[in-house]
Homo-oligomer: A and B are copies of this chain.
Amino acid sequence: MKRFLKVEDIGDLKKALQDAVEVKQNPYAFQELGKNKTIILVFFNSSLRTRLSTQKAAMNMGMNVMVLDINKDGWKLETEMGVVMDSDKPEHIKEAVPVIGQYCDMIGVRSFATFENKEDDYTEKVINQFIQYSGVPVISLESATRHPLQAFADLITIEEHKSKARPKVVLTWAPHPRALPQAVANSFAEWMKEADVEFVITHPKGYELAEEFTAGVEVEYDQRKAFEGADFIYAKNWSSFKQYGQVISQDKDWTVDEEKMALTNQAKFMHCLPVRRNMIVSDGVIESENSLVVQEAANRVVSAQTVIKRILESL
Confirm or deny: A185 has a beta carbon within 8 angstroms of a beta carbon on chain B.
no
Chain B proximity of A266: nearest CB distance (Å): 22
Contact B66 A55 (CB under 8 A): yes
Contact B66 A48 (CB under 8 A): no
In this complex, what residue of B is CB-closest to A51? B73
Contact B274 A91 (CB under 8 A): yes
Contact of A40 among B52, B73, B81, B297 (CB under 8 A): B52
Q: How far does the alpha carbon of A99 sit from the alpha carbon of B56 in the complex, in Å?
A: 13
For residue A28, which residues in chain B have a CB less than 8 angstroms away from its CB?
36
Contact A91 B273 (CB under 8 A): yes
Confirm or deny: A90 has a beta carbon within 8 angstroms of a beta carbon on chain B.
yes
Contact A74 B95 (CB under 8 A): no
Contact B95 A294 (CB under 8 A): yes
Tallying the copies of this chain within the complex gives: 3
Confirm or deny: A246 has a beta carbon within 8 angstroms of a beta carbon on chain B.
no
Query: Given A91-B48, A95-B274, A96-B48, do A104 and B73 touch, yes or no (CB 8 Å)?
Result: no
Query: Given A91-B275, A279-B85, do A59 and B38 touch, yes or no (CB 8 Å)?
Result: yes
In this complex, what residue of B is CB-closest to A87? B177
Contact B68 A48 (CB under 8 A): yes
Which of A47, A274, A298 has most B Cβ within 10 Å? Answer: A274
Chain B proximity of A52: nearest CB distance (Å): 5
Interface residue ranges of A84-131 to B (CB < 8 Å): 84-87, 90-92, 94-96, 98-100, 102-104
In this complex, what residue of B is CB-closest to A31? B36
Sampled A-B contacts (28; CB under 8 Å): A28-B36, A36-B60, A43-B73, A46-B74, A46-B75, A47-B73, A48-B91, A49-B99, A52-B66, A52-B100, A52-B104, A53-B103, A56-B104, A69-B73, A84-B278, A84-B279, A85-B277, A86-B177, A86-B276, A91-B273, A91-B275, A92-B274, A95-B274, A95-B275, A95-B294, A98-B294, A102-B298, A102-B301
